[in-house]
Amino acid sequence: EVQLVESGGGLVKPGGSLRLSCAASGFTFNNAAMSWVRQAPGKGLEWVGRIKMNTDGGTVEYAAPVKGRFTISRDDSKNTLYLQMNSLKTEDTAVYFCATYSGYNKDWGQGTLVTVSS
Amino acid sequence: DIVMTQSPDSLAVSLGERATINCKSSQSVLYSSNNKNYLAWYQQKPGQPPNLVINWASTRESGVPDRFSGSGSGTDFTLTISSLQAEDVAVYYCQQFYTTPVTFGGGTKVEIK
């Protein structure tokens, strides 16, 4: 059974940083592209970005609102996906989901809440 | 970016009746070389992550009841719930994965009348 467990969310001040983790199990992580999707409170889904598997170049793409501030990375030895978030803004407040990525997102974690507030 | 527009924003349907959700993309998501529409549908219940219901516009995911069906091609798509059940109350999102950035529709809330 595929399991994705996010962690690292919390309350941070504007301009601050936070690193989210997503621990994966139940599938061959190094053979999977992965993505982050966020959802602001009471709002819809917003794609944050995706990382290809290392054998496919490991390339990363980002949505425009986070490009230059967020970094997606992976550690295949730990079956873990990361989202480093810098220069956080109040509008980054959201639940952040990690998900497997085949263009569409088949498997999702439960999400972790990030609140950016002074 | 491809803009995905869903309609209606919400709908209330009686138990056992049909629910129809529309999704329109600002450009075609049909890839001509393989004749596939890069369009997915998700169901999200309160407090839960989204659940993939349909991909490639019309392929139902394993375990999804056959009352759910997807149709359409190019820029216009529909998710139909043929006989609404209480457990289908949720917000439904369409998503294009034809190109990055992947984009979602704004969501349609389905309730019981």
CA distance B102 to A92: 18
Kindly state whether B74 is in contact with chain A, defined as any CB-CB distance less than 8 angstroms.
no
Q: Show residues of chain A in contact with B101, CB under 8 Å.
A: 47, 61, 63-64
Q: How big is chain B by its Cα radius of gyration, in Å? A: 13
Taking a C-beta distance cutoff of 8 angstroms, is the pair A82, A75 a contact? yes
Q: Show residues of chain B in contact with A61, CB under 8 Å.
A: 100-101
Residue A25 pLDDT = 98
Residue B111 pLDDT = 98
Distance of CA A49 to the CA centre of its chain: 7
Q: Which residues contact B62 (CB under 8 A, 6 or more apart)?
A: none
Predicted confidence (pLDDT) per residue in B43-60, tens digit: 999 999 999 999 999 999
Count, in order, helices (H) and strands (E) of chain B: 0, 13
Q: Show residues of chain B in contact with A108, CB under 8 Å.
A: 49-51
Residue B13 pLDDT = 97
Partners of residue A71 on adjacent β-strands: A84
Nearest Cα residue to B104 out of B63, B50, B30: B50
A105 and B51: CB-CB below 8 Å? Answer: no
Predicted confidence (pLDDT) per residue in B55-76, tens digit: 999 999 999 999 999 999 999 9
Predicted confidence (pLDDT) per residue in B86-113, tens digit: 999 999 999 999 999 999 999 999 999 9
How much is the mean pLDDT over chain A?
97
Taking a C-beta distance cutoff of 8 angstroms, is the pair A38, A31 a contact? no
Taken in order B47, B52, B19, B29, the sign of the CA dihedral is positive
Residue A86 pLDDT = 98
Kindly state whether B63 is in contact with chain A, defined as any CB-CB distance less than 8 angstroms.
no
Kindly state whether B61 is in contact with chain A, defined as any CB-CB distance less than 8 angstroms.
yes
Predicted confidence (pLDDT) per residue in A35-48, tens digit: 999 999 999 999 99
The band of A70, judged by pLDDT with boundaries at 50, 70 and 90, is: very high
Residue B60 pLDDT = 98
Residue B69 pLDDT = 98
Rounded (10°) CA dihedral B76, B89, B46, B56:
-30
Max alpha carbon distance in chain B (Å)? 43
Kindly state whether B97 is in contact with chain A, defined as any CB-CB distance less than 8 angstroms.
yes
